[in-house]
Structure 1
Amino acid sequence: MSDERYYAVPEYDGNPFIAKLPRLKDRKAVFGALQFKPEYSEDECGYPPHYRKHFVLRLTRFFEPVSRHVELAERLDFILRQGYIGRNPLTHDYVRHLQNDFKRTVQKNVYAENLLVVENTATSFSVVGCSGVGKSRAIEKILHQYPQTITHSEPFRLIQVPWLKLDCPHQGSPRQLCKNFFVSIDKILGTEYDRLYGNTRASLDEMLVHMAQVANLHALGLLVIDEIQHLRKSKKSVNASGSDQLLNFLVTLVNTIGVPVVLIGTLSAKAILQKDFRQARRGAGFGSAQWDRYAYDVEWKHIVQRLWKYQWTKTYTPLTPEIEAALYDESQGILDVLVKLVILSQLKVISINEARAQGEEITPELIRRVASEEFKLIQPMIEALRRNDYEAIFQYDDLFDFDEHISTRYSQVAATSRANEYADAPTPELDKLAVLMRVGVSEEEARGILSNLASSTTPNTAMRMIVENPGQDEPKAQQEETKVAGDLRNAFGARPSVYHVLKEQGVISCPLIDFKVGE
């Protein structure tokens, strides 16, 4: 019998939605629950090569948690349980939530007014970071510590869904996200919500209303949306972009319906979450985490040491400083690349032995050879990270923090410009003008660009608007210039200019091309 003493949290007591969740864990227990050690036996190293190759693939499921994973697990547990406080089915608030759902459904408007006042304890959270550092894998490991469904029979009948994870559609479509929601719920519960509410004739407003209704009916505890950066590709509607529509709905889920929301994405998602203060608050209601690639530090070395234990080669290769350095150099702190590099290195050395009856030692040279042969597609990215070449990294927005780079670049350029080019006292307009001129825009063209921007626009915002809308980088005066008889531009119909057309065809490079974020 366990000697662990049970401590009660008063605000959780008496809430059936919380009572059936797993008991609270300390950090040590969380670490143990997340850790996954592949099955391993030294006897397997004596098996024939074609067997050992399959054993090596067990490393694809390897998971060694570190501090960032434990902190994320704790935070998700906080917002899951806290969100249920305001939706206790034994209180009047839960009934009011259902009545509000009915009003929204009748009005076919998720933002319906004159609803009953209910307590709301839900909040939101976001995780952004470099692609391949393990965000999605960590979230899934944490979520699977909780049951996906809980059946209640007394004092009410209901199937509770503690969590649901969806991937944002590739084109960032809010309609497709709603449909994915209904399909996922149907798979879990065996219902037919997709048939009822996910048909193509339903408007987006109707789908959002029913999505909120289903979330309430099944006491959805946590909605996790991965790959949120796909919203950058969302098509614009008459009144707002698709990303704005979806983010407006998600903040409604949190603030009105009481369902906590977690958003996960690459670094390029920061441009969406920080578009303005209101949207930034949606993703940072309970803070936000940025997961950069691992530094060459204690935690990285700990992961490598744990991973290196699993070798199915005939001869065990000790982990040397040279091997450790080669693994970091070829992966640049990206966890997914590290694991695949270890797997492919073992497969390579086993294959060499199978073909030539040579030894099975893993060397730094072999690791670098495997990286060169197997990771050709990502070599430009790895090389850019290796050199800390921000101009090159800038092409890969899932590896790159756009805001940090533009801020740093602007500070350097503006400071130099004020010191060397302008005798006048620095002003916001001169700062913005300096940024554009330093990246190759002529003074006349730069002044034309700035004349189209609001005076309150910051240098960072100005640069972002130009980067994201390169077709608008010509001054108004040039675009509206009157065409005369015989002017070569007449051959291009209603196009603004020859320059504009040739630039679209790729004949002329945009002076800001080096700053354009890759799609």
Structure 2
Amino acid sequence: MAKYNYVTCEEGVSQYDDYDLNEHRIVPARYVEAKLAIDTGNPYIEALPYPRTGRNIISSYSQTMADFDYDKIKSMSTIDKILQIRSLRSIRFPLPFHAELELSFYNALITSYRSRHILHSDNDKVSYSVENQEYAASNILIGDSSASTDAGFSLIGYSGCGKSSAIQMLVSYYPQVIMHTTENGEYFPQITYLVVNCIPNSNFSALYDGIGDAIDKALGNIKPIYSAEIMKIRTLGAKAERIREYVEKFAIGIIIFDEIQLIDFSHTRENSFDSLLTLSNRTKVATAVVGTEDAKAKMFKTLRTARRVGNVINGNMYCIVRTEISFTFL
């Protein structure tokens, strides 16, 4: 059973709403009662906010030009007008796939944490660094080998349809790092998500390096620690093993790979995307991929690979809310 106090909040409202999560990526844990009895007492699940629903999704995914004033247009200088025009790029509207994305993300997190258990030791501790300050913890989170590996999703759509923007608005609702406290005052970390941006023509070695860089940024390490460790390793197998250690040490919930189509998919086993998903099989960390139709063709060569990435969300669907007309953008 849980040995912590619960807070109460309405559905679609986070217990961390009083934090500016853009400024405070690391927050102390606050717990809400799990939706399902099977998750009761699981601190990694009960420290997560309930997912956004309904009108909360619509308002969260809507961004307008709040400072625009039509009456001031004539008195604007040329540079002011140019800046106003360029600010149009920041306008966002809620789209049909946003609701599915919200639910898929939350479901991936709780499925991942439900398939793992805490390994505790009173004799040995693992060290970790937050904001370049060293700490020690007696817990790591390991995967249950008997559990299935199906946590994750893929967001597929044409370039420019709003996939990356949707991911940005999605994760802005969740604290990236949650610090739990034991009864004896010891801290242990939980990284809820990592977003790894793939670079053009990169290989899987660079992808593993990117995971290390994302860990450092999440933990606020100005001087790279974990990315530096991974970059020192030469073989892909050893890099993957080090990533596994980090997933268990930091209880990483989900790793999102954005622009996955830019990866150089090799046919060798160690470089294949299927091999990368072995990380999920061993640790039960959820995996999400975001990319174009090209990425879908490269990744889902077999049904086994498609199943392990989870459901496919169609990012091409647009909706005119006022007239309730939905259509697929071609």
Per the TM superposition, whether the score is higher than 0.5 is yes
Query: Is 1:205 aligned to 2:248, yes or no?
Result: no
Within 1, Cα distance between the matches of 2:265 and 2:147?
A: 33
* Structure 1 residues 105-137: Cα deviation after superposition (integer angstroms, max 9, x where no partner): xxxxxxxxxx97454575121121111111111
Compute the displacement of 1:94 (Å): 2.0
Larger radius of gyration: 1
Within 2, Cα distance between the matches of 1:116 and 1:258?
A: 7
Partner of 1:162: 192
Q: Are the structure 2 counterparts of residues 174 and 45 from structure 1 closer, same or farther at C-alpha, using a change threshold of 3 Å?
A: same
Equivalent residue letter for 1:204: L
Query: Is 1:223 aligned to 2:251, yes or no?
Result: no
Partner residue of 1:174 out of 196, 204, 208: 204
Partner of 2:132: none
Query: Is 1:274 aligned to 2:300, yes or no?
Result: yes
Q: Which runs of 5+ in 2 are unaligned?
A: 1-7, 12-31, 121-125, 127-142
Query: Is 1:82 aligned to 2:106, yes or no?
Result: no
Partner residue of 2:49 out of 18, 22, 41: 22
Within 1, Cα distance between the matches of 2:93 and 2:144?
A: 47
Compute the displacement of 1:206 (Å): 0.6
Within 1, Cα distance between the matches of 2:189 and 2:33?
A: 27
Residues 126, 288 of structure 1: 8 Å contact kept: yes
Q: Are the structure 2 counterparts of residues 15 and 293 from structure 1 closer, same or farther at C-alpha, using a change threshold of 3 Å?
A: closer
Bigger RCO (CA 8 Å, 6+ sep)? 2
Paired residues, number: 274
Residues 57, 94 of structure 2: 8 Å contact kept: no
Equivalent residue letter for 2:308: R
* Structure 1 residues 426-478: Cα deviation after superposition (integer angstroms, max 9, x where no partner): xxxxxxxxxxxxxxxxxxxxxxxxxxxxxxxxxxxxxxxxxxxxxxxxxxxxx
Q: Secondary structure at the match of 2:103?
A: helix
Query: Is 1:289 aligned to 2:313, yes or no?
Result: yes
Q: Secondary structure at the match of 1:94?
A: strand
Partner residue of 1:72 out of 101, 111, 117: 101
Partner of 1:37: 64
Compute the displacement of 1:154 (Å): 2.3
Compute the displacement of 1:43 (Å): 4.0
Equivalent residue letter for 2:320: V
Residues 254, 288 of structure 2: 8 Å contact kept: yes
Q: Are the structure 2 counterparts of residues 7 and 17 from structure 1 closer, same or farther at C-alpha, using a change threshold of 3 Å?
A: closer
Partner of 1:195: 228
Partner of 2:265: 234
User: How do residues 410-425 of structure 1 correspond to structure 2 at under 5 angstroms?
Assistant: none
Equivalent residue letter for 2:54: R
Residues 253, 260 of structure 1: 8 Å contact kept: no
Partner of 2:118: 94
Within 2, Cα distance between the matches of 1:138 and 1:123?
A: 19
Within 2, Cα distance between the matches of 1:15 and 1:58?
A: 43
Partner of 2:28: none
Compute the displacement of 1:300 (Å): 9.3
Equivalent residue letter for 2:301: K
Q: Are the structure 2 counterparts of residues 137 and 302 from structure 1 closer, same or farther at C-alpha, using a change threshold of 3 Å?
A: farther
Q: Which runs of 5+ in 1 are unaligned?
A: 88-92, 97-101, 103-114, 304-327, 334-384, 386-519
Query: Is 1:127 aligned to 2:155, yes or no?
Result: yes
Query: Is 1:59 aligned to 2:88, yes or no?
Result: yes
Within 1, Cα distance between the matches of 2:275 and 2:317?
A: 31
Within 2, Cα distance between the matches of 1:116 and 1:53?
A: 56
Within 2, Cα distance between the matches of 1:254 and 1:135?
A: 23
Partner of 2:5: none
Q: Normalising by the residue count of structure 2, what TM-score does the alignment of the two structures yield? A: 0.72
Greater helix content: 1
Within 2, Cα distance between the matches of 1:164 and 1:27?
A: 26
Residues 130, 292 of structure 1: 8 Å contact kept: yes
Residues 130, 293 of structure 1: 8 Å contact kept: no
Q: Are the structure 2 counterparts of residues 202 and 222 from structure 1 closer, same or farther at C-alpha, using a change threshold of 3 Å?
A: same
Within 2, Cα distance between the matches of 1:209 and 1:26?
A: 38
Within 2, Cα distance between the matches of 1:43 and 1:253?
A: 57
Equivalent residue letter for 2:52: K
Q: Normalising by the residue count of structure 1, what TM-score does the alignment of the two structures yield? A: 0.48
